[in-house]
Amino acid sequence: MSKLKKLNIKNYISENETTFNIELTYENFGKPLGQSPIVLVNHALTGNSSVAGDSGWWNSIIGKDKLIDTNDFTVIAFNFPGNGYDGFLIKNYEDLILRDIARIFIEGLNKLNIKKLFAVIGGSIGGGLVWEMAAVCPDLAENYIPIASDWKSSDWLLANTRLQKQILYNSSQPVHDARMHAMLCYRSPLSFQKKFGRSKDSDVFNVESWLLHHGEKLQDRFQLQAYKLMNHLLSTIDITNNGKLRFQDIISKINGNIYIVSVDSDLFFTDYQNRETFYKACRVKENIFFKTIKSVHGHDAFLIEFDQLNLLLSQIFNKKSISLLRNQY
């Protein structure tokens, strides 16, 4: 099991010129720093830095002899400041946007004397953060892998984060009820049909019991302040900084490979939205690739379809790529 470590980012000035003292915590897995290529993993909305090991939420693809093999790589995962996993919360969270988290993570890497990553990978808001980090620091990584995400918060996403905010501020069980609503965005109608088929236990439909269970489960482990922060950040994904920068100009400056991984049934960051991004980026960048997870499970497929993820990303995390980099360490 990895130990939680802490970096202090003092006097950080946010995009709206608010000063923060940030406690940035992280875990690392696999090879010690400085000995092997480094992979940064960005967690999703209710995730955390525990990405590998027995309780790791992505341990099906990160670990010994896994896709991201900790025999060969150093894996680092930061906690979003204020996600509560480390006890650190941020009251004035609306003074931060996702671009700030990108800048804070990059500052954390600098403090660890990490100038270059083999890859930065993440799903959902973690994938949005991959885009933001690429925009802020175009030479940071050799491979950028945003999964089930996009470079912007779409109108559909903004509508859902607004509804989440209403629930979080007005419900008597805010985390519980917000989670119930969110699960409808994370799965798909077909996945519910296949899983439940209108089945009942006594007088309650099993789909209702399932939603209630997920609400109770998150309520027991996730703090309201942390949920408010993460939901707010989800609504601020935009590498163009509200249109102040041109998308093509940003993409053309990113030197590393970009692998967009979409989910064909995703209701949150749609497959159409990701294809639109890919075609737009192709006009100015050659080394950008599009891959699709085919699944009934919707947005959460990146946490379910591990066999497909292994297949789709195997060309990136292969032994040949690692051996070519070893002489740098």
Q: Say if residue 18 is in the same domain as residue 119.
A: yes
* Pairing status of strand 200-201 against strand 141-147: unpaired
CATH at residue 271: 3.40.50.1820
- Interatomic CA distance for residues 24 and 78, integer angstroms: 7
Q: Say if residue 149 is in the same domain as residue 29.
A: yes
Q: Give percent of the chain above pLDDT 90.
A: 95
Q: Total domain count for the chain?
A: 2
Both tokens of 75, joined, read 């894996």
Read off the pLDDT band of 289 (50, 70, 90): very high
pTM, rounded to two decimals: 0.96
pLDDT tens per residue across span 128-184: 999 999 999 999 999 999 999 999 999 999 999 999 999 999 999 999 999 999 999
CATH at residue 165: 1.10.1740.110
Q: Closest Cα to residue 25, out of 108, 106, 99, 124?
A: 108
Distances from the Cα of 173 to the Cαs of 104, 219, 228, in angstroms?
32, 8, 13
Coil, helix or strand at residue 25? strand
Query: ∠ CA(94), CA(99), CA(100), 5° rounding?
Result: 60
Q: Say if residue 57 is in the same domain as residue 93.
A: yes
Instruction: Determine the structural domain holding residue 313 and report its residue range.
Output: 5-153+240-328
Q: Say if residue 184 is in the same domain as residue 319.
A: no
